[in-house]
Amino acid sequence: MTAGPGGYHAGMDDPGTDDRRRRVPRTDVVLADPRLADAVRRLGRDLVKSLVAAAQDRARAGEVAPESVADTVVAALPAAACGMRPVINATGVLLHTNLGRAALSPAARDALLAASGTTDVELDLRTGARGRRGRTALDALAAAVPAAQAVHVVNNNAAALVLAATALAAGREIVISRGELVEIGDGFRIPDLLTSTGARLREVGTTNRTGLADYAAAVGPDTGFVLKVHPSNFRVTGFTSAVGIAGLAGLGVTVVGDIGSGLLAPEPLLSEEPAAASWLAAGAGLVTASGDKLLGGPQCGLLLGRAEIVERLRRHPLARALRVDKLTLAALEATLRGPATPTYRFLHADPAELRDRAARLAARLRAEGIEATAVASEATVGGGGAPGVPLPSAAVALPHPLAERLRLGTPAVLARVQRERCLLDLRAVPPEDDAAVAEAVREATRAG
């Protein structure tokens, strides 16, 4: 072997490596840093210790200086002891399922904190005896939909349908149009969901056309209920026909309506999207809906309808397995009683204000030498709501490669990639996050 410039043989380890490894601080020394002592209290010793070990390994590999181990750990500390990372939704999809759909309102977030300790979720403090579980949340839901004689809450809309099918139609038939045998996402399909309860499906009509006579011919002594499913994530156009709730209500059997999107009252901007109040007024015996879609609340399934039907579902043994926890009840109540939700504000955003925000953000970035252009955009409701309804929006167009860097940054920013451009659609970005978006773009640009 030949000697290298540093006096050691080429091909052998750098003799400075051992010295560097000896200078890596011990775990107990790093954990004694006051910043990490506070992190241990907030996040737990195991999580912080794992970050220390990772930083020590980086120091041994020469990626960071040994004296910077504690700083490296501090920089890597998460905001909470949770693997989920906050994401700024710049996709233009208001209710993005992969991002957890509705962002909770400040009132709902405060309610979550208030309910995180011991609460009177199922206790009557006046008498000291057991009380109705989540009574204040249920009262708020009932007040929001006066057309419902009774209400109940389960953990999502699929659970609401499962409970209805089990309690009302196990071993019997559910009559449903072939055009409403939909897939609700990730491979889950309404027919599979319903038949898993022991109910049988009686399919009527065709994919594009179903008439009242089709339902009438199928209804009989073995009918548990007629199910009306709103096609919330697709549209069928052309030579079509369907039967509304009012027509089905005249068949003499219970009608269950799945509106899916969670509108409790009609929304003028989404005229074709059914509301729970409307379907109940038209004669539905039971309506099911999602809490984390257009309602703008936590994930849950809402059951609203005639008192005897809702009580039958509430008392069914399966209801216990599908019930929601105190945190969901608290967030739901705050959503219903509190101020406008982020979802409502995004839906009703002024397009002119969105254009102004995009222009200001693009100008700020261009002034720093970053390629950015304000462009017109179209947003969507998403989350299985209002398919095919465009929402005028505005976006900042950036070079395509920035999309991945923004997604991997802190905070993570999820953009929409369209025509080889990275689009930051502002419809679902709160105005107070514009500065964070600008900084994320700067960091992504520097990383490139």
What CATH number corresponds to the domain at position 366?
A: 3.90.1150.180
**159: domain range?**
106-339
Write down which residue in 312, 339, 366 finishes a domain. 339
Within this chain, do residues 427 and 380 fall inside the same structural domain, yes or no? yes
Within this chain, do residues 309 and 193 fall inside the same structural domain, yes or no? yes
Asked if residue 413 lies in contact with residue 90, where contact means CB atoms within 8 angstroms, the answer is yes
Q: What is the pLDDT of residues 326-353, one digit of tens each?
A: 999 999 999 999 999 999 999 999 999 9
Residue 12 in this model has a pLDDT that exceeds 50: no
Within this chain, do residues 354 and 319 fall inside the same structural domain, yes or no? no
Within this chain, do residues 384 and 328 fall inside the same structural domain, yes or no? no
Asked if residue 424 lies in contact with residue 348, where contact means CB atoms within 8 angstroms, the answer is no
Within this chain, do residues 229 and 300 fall inside the same structural domain, yes or no? yes
Side chain identity at residue 8, one-letter code: Y
Is 25 part of a structural domain of the chain? yes
Q: What average pLDDT score do residues 60-70 get?
A: 92
Q: Tell me the CATH number at 189.
A: 3.40.640.10
Taking residue 239's Cβ as centre, other Cβ atoms within 10 Å add up to: 7
| Number of domains present in the structure of the chain | 3
Indicate the pLDDT class of residue 233, thresholds 50, 70 and 90. Answer: low
What is d(CA 343, CA 292) in angstroms, rounded to the nearest whole number? 9
Q: What is the pLDDT of residues 162-192, one digit of tens each?
A: 999 999 999 999 999 999 998 877 778 889 9
In this prediction, residue 10 carries a pLDDT of 39
Indicate the pLDDT class of residue 229, thresholds 50, 70 and 90. Answer: very high
Within this chain, do residues 177 and 310 fall inside the same structural domain, yes or no? yes
Side chain identity at residue 7, one-letter code: G
Is 1 part of a structural domain of the chain? no
Within this chain, do residues 213 and 69 fall inside the same structural domain, yes or no? no
In this prediction, residue 232 carries a pLDDT of 66
**Which of 15-24, 48-57, 147-156, 334-343 bottoms out in mean pLDDT, i.e. has the lowest?**
15-24
What is d(CA 431, CA 353) in angstroms, rounded to the nearest whole number? 10
Beta bridge partners of residue 176, listed in sequence order: 203, 227
Q: Is the peptide bond before 411 cis (omega within 30 degrees of 0)?
A: yes
Indicate the pLDDT class of residue 75, thresholds 50, 70 and 90. Answer: confident
In this prediction, residue 101 carries a pLDDT of 95
Report the Cα–Cα distance between both ends of the chain, in Å, rounded: 40
Taking residue 31's Cβ as centre, other Cβ atoms within 10 Å add up to: 18
Q: What is the pLDDT of residues 260-269, one digit of tens each?
A: 788 999 999 9
In this prediction, residue 434 carries a pLDDT of 97
What is d(CA 151, CA 158) in angstroms, rounded to the nearest whole number? 16
Within this chain, do residues 68 and 174 fall inside the same structural domain, yes or no? no
Within this chain, do residues 223 and 315 fall inside the same structural domain, yes or no? yes
Beta pairing, strands 150-154 & 373-379: unpaired
Residue 235 in this model has a pLDDT that exceeds 90: no
Is 234 part of a structural domain of the chain? yes
Within this chain, do residues 162 and 194 fall inside the same structural domain, yes or no? yes
Q: What is the pLDDT of residues 389-448, one digit of tens each?
A: 899 999 999 999 999 999 999 889 999 999 899 999 999 999 999 999 999 999 999 987
What is d(CA 88, CA 203) in angstroms, rounded to the nearest whole number? 43
pTM higher than 0.75, yes or no?
yes
In this prediction, residue 354 carries a pLDDT of 98
Is 322 part of a structural domain of the chain? yes
Asked if residue 59 lies in contact with residue 17, where contact means CB atoms within 8 angstroms, the answer is no
Beta bridge partners of residue 91, listed in sequence order: none
In this prediction, residue 14 carries a pLDDT of 53
To the nearest 10°, report the CA torsion of 437, 441, 447, 448: 150
Q: What is the pLDDT of residues 236-283, one digit of tens each?
A: 778 889 999 999 999 999 999 999 788 999 999 998 899 999 999 999
Is 81 part of a structural domain of the chain? no
In the numeric block, the tokens 């009509």 are attached to 205
Write down which residue in 307, 339, 371 finishes a domain. 339
Residue 383 in this model has a pLDDT that exceeds 90: no
In this prediction, residue 16 carries a pLDDT of 57
